[in-house]
């Protein structure tokens, strides 16, 4: 999968150079390109924001740099184009699965007071929020989405690890987990997990 991320703050994405995401990139399962859309500004000062029509606080990201950037990355409009915004439906497991089916996705990180709506009308296929709260920008939500989606790319993690985890089967949550030692600070591992009866273990896990 190829993921292009449009942002004004590329350095924030250093977190993607670690752990499972790093291994996925190194192995060639995942290609991530961080693009500063300021580079596409037609303004001689590389301006990307301006005051909102109708008045109000803050600045709005302009359409031109973002639209030109997206069209340069996806001239044939084959990618799934996603805008990270708090005003969208909250991301759920089924949405992650759907997004993971695409070979190429483009993520737009909003900032300041928002993005000129014409960007969405001209270029965006889907809007996604990671929760009913407002952050300073779309960079952290983009990393959340990348992490969630990457786990479902073949080869990134062991497929068996995806079978019984939270949200895989409807709205169920994964069972509690334990490892050695059997007793720690007066708390003991449930006996059913120690008896070797796999049918009873499965019943306990479902409960």
The tokens for 174 are 């994964």
Q: Is 62 exposed, middle or buried (0-12, 13-18, 19+ CB in 10 A)?
A: buried
Q: Quick one: pLDDT band at residue 172, thresholds 50, 70, 90?
A: confident
Of residues 129, 106, 133, the one with CA closest to residue 119: 106
pLDDT recorded at residue 158: 78
Average pLDDT in the chain: 94
Instruction: Give, in degrees to the nearest 5, the angle at Cα 58 between 57 and 61.
Output: 135
> Does position 164 have pLDDT exceeding 70, yes or no?
no
**Domains in the chain, CATH or no CATH each:** 2-159 (3.40.1280.10), 175-207 (1.10.1270.20)
pLDDT at residue 166 above 80? no
Cα separation of 6 and 138, whole Å? 10
CA gap 178, 185 in Å, rounded: 14
Average pLDDT rounded to a whole number, residues 112-124: 96
Is 57 strand, coil or helix? coil
111 token code pair: 């900032």
Q: Token pair for residue 44?
A: 């001689």
**pLDDT tens, residue by residue, 30-89:** 999 999 999 999 999 999 999 999 999 999 999 999 999 999 999 999 999 999 999 999
Share of the chain above pLDDT 90, in %: 89
Please tell me the distance from the alpha carbon of residue 43 to that of residue 40, in angstroms, as a whole number.
Answer: 9
Using the predicted structure, report yes or no on whether residue 174 has a pLDDT greater than 60.
Answer: yes
Q: What is the pTM of this model?
A: 0.90
| Total count of residues recorded for the chain | 207
Q: What percent of the chain has pLDDT over 70?
A: 94
Taking every pair of C-alpha atoms in the chain, what is the biggest distance, in angstroms?
72
Q: What is the mean pLDDT of residues 12-36?
A: 97
């Amino acid at each position: 999968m190829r993921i292009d991320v449009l942002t004004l703050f590329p350095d924030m994405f250093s977190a993607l150079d670690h752990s499972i995401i790093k291994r996925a990139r190194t192995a060639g399962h995942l290609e991530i390109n961080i693009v500063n859309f300021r580079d596409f500004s037609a303004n001689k000062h590389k301006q990307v924001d301006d005051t909102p029509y109708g008045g109000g606080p803050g600045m709005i990201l302009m359409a031109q740099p973002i639209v030109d950037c997206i069209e340069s990355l996806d001239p044939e409009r084959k990618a799934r184009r996603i805008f990270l915004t708090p005003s969208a439906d909250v991301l759920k497991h089924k949405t992650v699965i759907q997004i993971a089916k695409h070979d190429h996705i483009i993520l737009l990180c909003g900032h300041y007071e928002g993005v000129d709506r014409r960007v969405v009308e001209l270029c965006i296929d889907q809007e996604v929020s990671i929760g009913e709260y407002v952050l300073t920008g779309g960079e952290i939500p983009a990393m959340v989405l990348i992490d969630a989606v990457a786990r479902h790319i073949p080869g990134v993690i062991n497929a068996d690890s995806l079978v019984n985890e939270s949200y895989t089967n409807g709205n169920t949550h994964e069972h509690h987990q334990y490892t050695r030692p059997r007793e720690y600070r007066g708390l003991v591992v449930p006996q059913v997990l120690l008896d070797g009866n796999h049918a009873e273990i499965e019943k306990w896990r479902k409960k």
